[in-house]
Structure 1
Amino acid sequence: MSAPAGPCTKASDAVADPLVEAIRGIDTTALDCVQVNAAVLADAHHGPGTHLELGGRLDFAPRAGAHPSLPTIEEPAADRIERMGGLLGLVLRTGRPVPDGRALLDLLPEDGSPLYVVGDAFRMPWLPYHGHQHMDHSVLLRAVDGGSRVEAVDAYDNETPYGRAEPVVCSYDRAQAAALFDGSSALPVPVRIAPPARPPVSDTLARNAEDGRRLLAGDAPERYAAAFRDHPDQEEACAALLLETWLLSRSRRLHAAWAAHRLPGSSLASAAADRAAAWDTLAGQCYLAARRVQRGRPVPPQIHPALAELLRADAESAVRAATEHPGETMSHPPAQVRRTVVHTVADVLGAAPEAVAATDDLSRIDGFASFQMVETVERLEDAYGVEFAPEDLDAAVLRSVEGLVGLVLRTTAGAEVAHA
């Protein structure tokens, strides 16, 4: 806390560079404080949307937390970092915690590439948590001006009880930057680039369905909700539940973004968006409950059954999605294929789906180029679990919605025959 805040610039106003450009292309409100800056690195190196692979799995694995009688879905930062690296195309190996700021800065790459660091939000002046709350928080540190200064790049975006956190780039002289990390343990995570894992959609949905069937077979959602409902200290329980629902809400928002990216226009994408909205509502109700309890008022009783119901709805949706997913070997209704093609092209080109559906020549749409068509082809192959034959990738086919629809239908029909 002894270091003054250096000049900070909102990422939306900062001078463009690969990290800043990546931040501008990410919905940072769908990511938590450990994920968000790793997501920036992934998109900066591998292109927009890479980070969405973090949203494929519908995780719910509560464990004992800091308060043994209250479960938590929050994992230790080191465990999460190593697990998410493969999906992001990053080799993330956590080093030993460093309690000295100068020793931490000595680890910064000399070429100005960033070091991913998990430190204490209590000591980071650009955050509302500064001086108020201790919690793990990631940041990207990089040496600039020949190493005489250090930039802190942080894409975290959240409304907090202490004010708003938003994506920023902050500049410090080296002594100021070192002081931020003196006296508290910081975890340095050197970064290497690797090919990103991109599991087939059907594989991801099958794993979600397996988890969903396991959850539906027991009473885990009810036991999880009851732990907060029955805790003797309701102020503590509501504070913990607020964090839990915040984490679940963000993860479901990220899952909805993943579904919209990998299966645009699908029933899965629509259902995921609806559930994400329901989780947002519940998180808001839990915030209200926490505030009421602080004032000596009773907890709104509906939040605990609503929590269990939403967890069951997630599981039911996961089981249903595995059977309805268009990537499975089954007939594909042309109308559904056309909807998926239109939404995929629209997402890649940044155009309105209505505009894509209305044109007979996609090259007339602003942003159309060979790179975008390559991305469209790859996303359709991923969505349907097929590989288009090179001789079928005629330029005229790729410039037409109907051409792409026909390509999908022919290829998936051939795949079904091959599996028969």
Structure 2
Amino acid sequence: MSASTKDCVAAPDAAEPLAAAIRGIDTTALDCIQVNAAVLADARHGPGTHLELGGRVCFAPRPGAHSPLPTVEQSPTNQIEQMAGPLGLDLQTGRPVRDGRALLDLLPEDGSPVYVVGDACRMPWLPYHGHQHMDHSVLLRAVDGGTRVEAVDAYDNETPYGKAEPVVCTYHLAEAVALFDGSPALPVRVRPAAPACPQVSETLARNAADAALLLAGDGPERYAAAFRDHPDQQEACSALLLETWLLARSRRLHAAWAAHHAPGSPHARTAADRAAAWDTLAGQCYLAARRVQRGRPVPPQIHTTLVELLRADARFAMESASKGPGDVMPHQTAQVRQTVVNTVADVLGATPEAVAATGDLNRLEGFASFQMVETVERLEDAYHVEFASEDLDPAVLRSVDGLVDLVLRTSAGAEVTHA
């Protein structure tokens, strides 16, 4: 069964708050379990909340559930448990439900969403439908007085069966029941909570502690060797493609986290470079998987590069923590100016060039009180300062020069003027 074309719309064009939250999310940086929890977090706490998922950079392979090959993929229940704090959500996992009606009976009458992990093979808005069984999240809520069910899914990915894109689909109740009948679905009740937002320096220190353990052992080498030496190279290359896809998305999310907290900083720039390197390896693994399917040998460099990237990530984590926040966010005037410009651009969804060329930020589309407050809060978080209330004059906050002076004056404790 599939939804008719008129019942599914691209999420970014929808006006409903959940769909509206998707517009502020780079959905290509999140996996299929994270992405819809991220939508809930941003809808509840504001744009950018989901980026807290990207602070920690981990490499913790575990034995595969149905394969001798290791995997960095976590179980949905573990991911849900770990996502709750950073996202500011109380996620209460229920028991798996196989009866579609019993699942939909859990939907609140007020239209509040329930986060559900089900089988992608049963979800007709996905290219996996009818092709591949895999855990996949979706947000379900009752609409039209409970006579219809809305499915919101922000997943974004190119798959062997076509492209998955963010959508909002609406089904008659009987249709929705049939979609989930006979297949286990994990319902998760969602309530708001206070987001756990550790200082940047604390997060970098935790990353460095993990990195020190990685560098002291041979984990990356053993991980790569498991795929290189597996007797079935078609299976090994397919698995490695998923592994590098997951690692690349996590590094892309970390780069977004760094750009959010420290826009224009050396750490943010290097994190973006690291993410790009992982994207390149994932592309190479895709080519390798296709070559092996055609009976051709595996390019040996993919395993060597895998080890090199894992170790380079660890060295980067160690260096970032050793420099400290002052080096992650330099206080030189030119760099502060770039940070201010990048922060305003990120808040507004504008280009840095447009922000830098504008004397009065009020002239930029979308710059109003809310955006002004968010800009101030981001700069305070980035520089670990609190601006004095008497310094928050609207005239100061409406110009790049004013914001630069405010940062420098507050962080240095002295008056700073521009030539």
Q: Same fold (TM over 0.5)?
A: yes
Against the structure 1 CA distance between its residues 4 and 374, is the aligned structure 2 distance closer, same or farther, given a 3 Å change threshold? Answer: closer
What is the identity percentage for the equivalent residue pairs of Structure 1 and Structure 2? Answer: 77
Mean alpha-carbon deviation: is it higher for 22-31 or for 103-112? 22-31
1:418 corresponds in structure 2 to none
Q: Which of 2, 5, 8 is matched with 2:3 structurally?
A: 5
2:295 corresponds in structure 1 to 296
1:163 corresponds in structure 2 to 162
Against the structure 1 CA distance between its residues 158 and 190, is the aligned structure 2 distance closer, same or farther, given a 3 Å change threshold? Answer: same
C-alpha distance after superposition, 1:94-114 (max 9, x if no partner): 101111111001000111111
Work out the CA distance in 1 between the residues paired with 2:322 and 2:331. Answer: 13
Mean alpha-carbon deviation: is it higher for 384-393 or for 219-228? 384-393
Work out the CA distance in 2 between the residues paired with 1:216 and 1:86. Answer: 28
Checking the alignment, whether the CA contact within 8 Å between 1:6 and 1:171 is kept in structure 2 is no
Checking the alignment, whether the CA contact within 8 Å between 1:10 and 1:166 is kept in structure 2 is no
Work out the CA distance in 1 between the residues paired with 2:328 and 2:56. Answer: 21
Work out the CA distance in 2 between the residues paired with 1:323 and 1:374. Answer: 31
Work out the CA distance in 2 between the residues paired with 1:329 and 1:69. Answer: 40
Work out the CA distance in 1 between the residues paired with 2:14 and 2:54. Answer: 29
The alignment partner of 1:129 has SS state of coil
Question: When the two structures are aligned, how many residues end up with a matched partner?
Answer: 413
Shift in Å at residue 68 of structure 1? 5.1
- The CA RMSD measured in Å over matched residues stands at 1.9
Work out the CA distance in 2 between the residues paired with 1:135 and 1:263. Answer: 36
1:111 corresponds in structure 2 to 110
Against the structure 1 CA distance between its residues 297 and 405, is the aligned structure 2 distance closer, same or farther, given a 3 Å change threshold? Answer: same
Shift in Å at residue 177 of structure 1? 0.7
Aligned amino acid, residue 185 of structure 1 = P
Work out the CA distance in 2 between the residues paired with 1:161 and 1:329. Answer: 40
Aligned amino acid, residue 162 of structure 2 = G
Aligned amino acid, residue 123 of structure 1 = R
Work out the CA distance in 2 between the residues paired with 1:238 and 1:56. Answer: 29
Checking the alignment, whether the CA contact within 8 Å between 1:201 and 1:327 is kept in structure 2 is no
Mean alpha-carbon deviation: is it higher for 325-334 or for 29-38? 325-334
Q: How does 1:127-276 map to 2 (within 5 A)?
A: 127-276=126-275
Work out the CA distance in 1 between the residues paired with 2:358 and 2:143. Answer: 48
The alignment partner of 2:117 has SS state of strand
2:417 corresponds in structure 1 to none
Mean alpha-carbon deviation: is it higher for 367-376 or for 245-254? 367-376
Aligned amino acid, residue 241 of structure 1 = L
Against the structure 1 CA distance between its residues 327 and 17, is the aligned structure 2 distance closer, same or farther, given a 3 Å change threshold? Answer: farther
2:62 corresponds in structure 1 to 63
1:309 corresponds in structure 2 to 308
Shift in Å at residue 32 of structure 1? 0.6
Work out the CA distance in 2 between the residues paired with 1:252 and 1:38. Answer: 18
Mean alpha-carbon deviation: is it higher for 351-360 or for 242-251? 351-360
Give TM-score scaled by structure 2 length.
0.94
Checking the alignment, whether the CA contact within 8 Å between 2:265 and 2:330 is kept in structure 1 is no
C-alpha distance after superposition, 1:345-375 (max 9, x if no partner): 2211233222322333333333222221111
Work out the CA distance in 1 between the residues paired with 2:215 and 2:33. Answer: 29
- Structure 2 spans left out of the alignment, 5+ residues: 415-419
C-alpha distance after superposition, 1:298-347 (max 9, x if no partner): 11111001111111111111122223454569972222222211211221
